[in-house]
């Protein structure tokens, strides 16, 4: 018996307009540090009880140090007659992240050393950073750069790199157990919608949802600058890391591409849980192996931590032409894709939280279902996700204190929600009792 029905939560509507949040956050100039990250977190804090943490520049974190804080107020390239050719105010991708200030007239040849374009995508502005470069630079469409043939230009970047702090946001929703699920999104990209804002928006909506539910597992949400933010959080929470039972990095989950799930480094229950949900989602998807390149799973899955953290994406970073360009804009991110990603992870969180272990109260032989009214109960179930007789028989056979509900769902090849429905029937009839958590 096999089922390939759609997402059982596919009707679940996010508690906020995800695409609206992406559009609201899009214009802000985020970076590893600085005012844009604070402004972003302040907007998120309107929806969730976010704790905003500031870690001073220079703080030693693992093998790294928290960098200087970077802020920028404006930047232009002008012709010597004053005409403005490139303006940061038009698009914050125009300036290389962490550019140092400059106010000079430079030759075209010198400017060329500091200009980044995409000759193969001549209409688009690339996204570039130089966090540790002690340099400055501009990004622009190749088409524009080709028209700039004057001998010299006036270049201004009104920025500063100075001691300040690294800012990140954290929300912890305690559960009945001390174990936790970790959900993270990066907040360090400027006007890029899929890479950064999609994960932020979905994570905020999930945090709002989880805050309203009774939870067995705690839920921890991190909104952190990539790499250095994860390293900083890990360095400051080392004694707590053993509580993380499952973790998921959310990134690039707002485009129309199929889901991709990147496995954790060493294999973990979350890998099986995501695979189960994707398999029963009715959506196209691919599961890809762990690799030490990508997002903050690199830090969480470093050998000294080896946390059970995977990464959920739709299109994979670096493989779509909009990636790290001005084409990764609010139109590239689709409301329906964001909502679907939200529903998928919501279902995953329910699975992780509900994946208990049961044992038969009396495991000798099959219980007599008819005497307990269970045939009638099954026949009367109208709602989607209701258990059928085979589901109940699988549960009653594998409820031996050694198979989790996910194990049973996998063995019976049915969605997790149907095993849960069978559990409700069997529990009501005192046929099973909960054992220790798997
Ligand atoms: Zn990126």
32 and 51 within one domain? yes
Position 258 in a domain: yes
> Does the residue 383 lie in any domain?
yes
Residue 8: its pLDDT value, please? 43
pLDDT, average across residues 339-349: 97
Q: Average pLDDT in the 266-270 region?
A: 96
Block residue for tokens 């909009």: 322
Does residue 37 form part of some domain? yes
| 154 belongs to a structural domain | yes
- For the record, the structure tokens of 396 come out as 């009653």
Q: With cut-offs at 50, 70 and 90, classify the pLDDT of residue 381.
A: low
Per-residue pLDDT of 80-138, as tens digits, reads 999 999 999 999 999 999 999 999 999 999 999 999 999 999 999 999 999 988 999 99
- Residue 382 pLDDT: 56
* Cα(290) to centroid(ligand 1), Å: 18
Same domain, 85 and 29: no
| Cβ-proximal residues to 150 (8 Å cutoff; 6+ apart), any chain | 79, 80, 108
Residue 262 alpha carbon to ligand 1 centre in Å = 16
Tokens for 9, please give them. 């939560």
Quickly state the pLDDT bin for 422 (edges 50, 70, 90): very high
**40 and 141 co-located in one domain:** no
Region at 40 (left for phi over 0; alpha for psi -120 to 50; beta for the rest)? alpha
- Could you say which of 116, 136, 162 is where a domain stops? 162
Tokens (6 digits) for 28: 């802000």
Task: Specify whether 188 is located in the same domain as 330.
Answer: yes
2 lies in some domain: no
Examine the pLDDT at 438 and tell me if it is beyond 70. no
E strand or H helix at 78, and its extent?
strand 69-78
Instruction: Find where tokens 């690294």 sit.
Output: 166
Q: Tokens 């600085």 belong to which residue?
A: 34
Model pLDDT, residue 220:
98
Using CA atoms, how far residue 146 sits from 76, 141, 247, 269, in Å, is 17, 9, 46, 53
Q: Are 41 and 145 found together in one domain? A: no
**How many structural domains are present in the chain?**
3
For ligand 1, the distance from its centroid to the CA atom of residue 8, given in whole angstroms, is: 32
How far does the centroid of ligand 1 lie from the alpha carbon of residue 92, in Å? 15
Rounded distance from Cα 318 to ligand 1 centre (Å): 9
For residue 392, the CA-to-ligand 1 centroid distance in Å is: 46
For ligand 1, the distance from its centroid to the CA atom of residue 189, given in whole angstroms, is: 7
Q: Residue 5: inside a domain, yes or no?
A: no
pLDDT tens digits, 124-146: 999 999 998 899 999 999 999 99
Q: How far is the CA of 46 from the centre of ligand 1 (A)?
A: 25
- Asked if residues 249 and 300 have their Cβ atoms less than 8 Å apart, the reply is yes
Instruction: Say how many Å lie between the CA of residue 195 and the centre of ligand 1.
Output: 5
Per-residue pLDDT, averaged over 389-398, amounts to: 94
Other C-beta atoms closer than 10 Å to the C-beta of 267 total 11
Predicted confidence band at 7 (pLDDT cuts at 50, 70, 90)? Answer: very low
User: What spacing in Å lies between the alpha carbon of 305 and ligand 1's midpoint?
Assistant: 23
**Band of pLDDT at residue 436, cut at 50, 70 and 90:** confident
Q: What single DSSP character describes residue 365?
A: S
Question: Are 39 and 183 members of one domain?
Answer: yes
Q: DSSP string of 137-185?
A: -EE--HHHHHH---SEEEEEEEEEEES-EEEEEEEEE--SSS-EEEEEE
Segment 267-290 mean pLDDT: 97
In a domain, 13, yes or no: no
Ligand 1 center to residue 362 CA distance, Å?
55
What length does the chain have? Answer: 438
23 and 84, same domain (yes or no): no
pLDDT of residue 11: 66
40-46-49 Cα angle (round to 5)? 100
Do 350 and 391 belong to one domain? no
Examine the domain organization and report whether 277 and 220 are in the same domain: yes
Which pLDDT does position 3 carry in this prediction? 36
Retrieve residue 174's tokens: 């305690």
Query: Residue 376's pLDDT is what?
Result: 74
CB 417 within 8 Å of CB 409: no
| Mean pLDDT to the nearest integer, 42-71 | 98
Q: How far is Cα 206 from Cα 78, in angstroms, rounded to an integer?
A: 45
405 CA distance to ligand 1 middle (Å): 37
Q: How far is the CA of 25 from the centre of ligand 1 (A)?
A: 16
- Hey, what's the torsion of the CAs at 11, 14, 16, 21, to 10 degrees? -110
Measured in whole angstroms, how far is the alpha carbon of residue 79 from the centre of its chain?
42
Beta-bridge mates of residue 250: 312
C-alpha to C-alpha distance for 43 and 97, rounded to whole angstroms: 22
Burial of 362 (0-12, 13-18, 19+ CB in 10 A): exposed
Ligand 1 centre to CA of 118 (Å) is 16
Considering only CA atoms, which of 237, 121, 233, 151 is closest in space to residue 187?
233
The CATH number given to whatever domain includes residue 109 is 3.50.30.90
Grouping H, G, I as helix, E, B as strand and the rest as coil, residue 359 is strand
Residues 120 and 221 in one domain: no
Residue 185 CA to ligand 1 centre (angstroms): 11
Tokens describing residue 162: 């100075």
Range of the structural domain that residue 396 is part of: 358-434
Mean pLDDT over each residue of the chain, to the nearest integer: 94
- Within a domain: 310: yes
Q: Which of 165, 176, 209 is nearest to 31 (CA)?
A: 165
- Identify the H or E element spanning 262: strand 259-262
Contact 426, 361 (CB under 8 A): no
Which CATH number characterizes residue 261's domain?
3.40.630.10
Q: Give distance in angstroms: CA of 391 to centre of ligand 1.
A: 43
Q: Give distance in angstroms: CA of 66 to centre of ligand 1.
A: 19
Residue where a domain stops, chosen among 103, 130, 162 = 162
Confidence at 412, pLDDT banded by 50, 70, 90: very high
Regarding beta strands 244-250 and 309-313, do their DSSP bridges make them parallel or antiparallel, or are they unpaired?
A: parallel
Say yes or no to pLDDT of 373 above 90: no
Are 194 and 331 contained in the same domain? Answer: yes
64 pLDDT more than 90: yes
Residues 225 and 40: beta-carbon distance below 8 Å? no
* 3-state SS assignment for residue 358: strand
At residue 387, the pLDDT reads 76
Residue ending a domain, among 162, 193, 210, is 162
Asked whether residue 263 carries a pLDDT value surpassing 50, the answer given is yes
Name, in order, each residue with C-beta under 8 angstroms of 239's C-beta and a sequence gap of 6 or more: none
Residue with tokens 């179930």: 381
Q: What is the CATH number of the domain that holds 422?
A: 1.10.10.10
**Do 173 and 292 lie in a common domain?**
yes
Residues 6 or more apart in contact with residue 404 via CB below 8 angstroms: 355, 356, 357, 438
Distance between Cα 324 and ligand 1 center (Å): 6
> What is the pLDDT at residue 2?
34
Expressed in angstroms and rounded, the spacing between residue 69 Cα and the centre of ligand 1 is: 19
Is 437 a residue whose pLDDT tops 70? no
């Amino acid at each position: 018996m096999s089922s390939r029905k759609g997402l059982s939560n596919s009707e679940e509507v996010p508690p906020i307009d995800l695409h609206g949040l992406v559009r609201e956050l899009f214009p802000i100039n985020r970076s590893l540090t600085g005012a844009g990250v604070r402004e972003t977190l302040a907007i998120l804090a309107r929806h969730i009880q976010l704790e905003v943490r500031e870690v001073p520049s220079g703080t030693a974190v693992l093998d790294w140090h928290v960098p200087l804080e970077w802020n920028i107020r404006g930047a232009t390239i002008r012709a010597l007659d004053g005409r403005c050719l490139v303006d940061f105010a038009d698009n914050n991708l125009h300036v290389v992240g962490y550019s140092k200030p400059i106010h000079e007239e430079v030759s075209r040849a010198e400017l060329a050393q500091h200009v980044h374009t995409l000759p193969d995508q001549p209409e688009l502005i690339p996204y570039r950073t130089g966090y540790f470069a002690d340099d400055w630079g501009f990004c622009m469409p190749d088409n524009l750069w080709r028209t700039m043939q004057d001998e010299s230009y006036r270049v201004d970047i009104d920025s500063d790199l100075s001691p300040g702090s690294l800012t990140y946001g954290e929300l912890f929703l305690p559960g009945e157990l001390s174990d936790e699920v970790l959900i993270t999104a990066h907040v360090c990209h400027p006007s890029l919608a899929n890479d950064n804002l999609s994960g932020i928006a979905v994570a905020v909506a999930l945090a709002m949802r989880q805050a309203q539910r009774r939870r067995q597992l705690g839920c921890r949400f991190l909104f952190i600058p990539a790499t250095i933010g994860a390293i900083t959080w890990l360095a400051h929470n080392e004694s707590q890391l053993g509580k993380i039972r499952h973790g998921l990095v959310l990134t690039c989950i707002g485009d129309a591409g199929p889901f991709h799930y990147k496995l954790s480094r060493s294999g973990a229950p979350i890998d099986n849980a995501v695979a189960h949900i994707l398999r029963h989602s009715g959506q196209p998807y691919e599961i890809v192996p762990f690799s030490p390149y990508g997002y903050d799973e690199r830090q969480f899955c470093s050998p000294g931590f080896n946390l059970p953290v995977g990464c959920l994406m739709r299109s994979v970073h670096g493989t779509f032409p909009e990636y790290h360009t001005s084409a990764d804009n609010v139109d590239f991110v689709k409301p329906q894709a964001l909502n679907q990603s939200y529903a998928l992870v919501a279902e995953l969180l329910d699975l992780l939280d509900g994946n208990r272990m049961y044992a038969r109260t009396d495991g000798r032989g099959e219980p007599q279902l008819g005497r307990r009214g269970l045939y009638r109960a099954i026949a009367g179930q109208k709602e989607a996700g209701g258990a059928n007789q085979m589901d109940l028989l699988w549960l009653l056979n594998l409820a031996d204190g050694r198979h989790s509900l996910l194990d049973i769902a996998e063995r019976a090849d049915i969605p997790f929600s149907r095993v849960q429905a069978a559990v409700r029937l069997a529990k009501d009839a005192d046929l099973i009792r909960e054992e220790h958590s798997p």
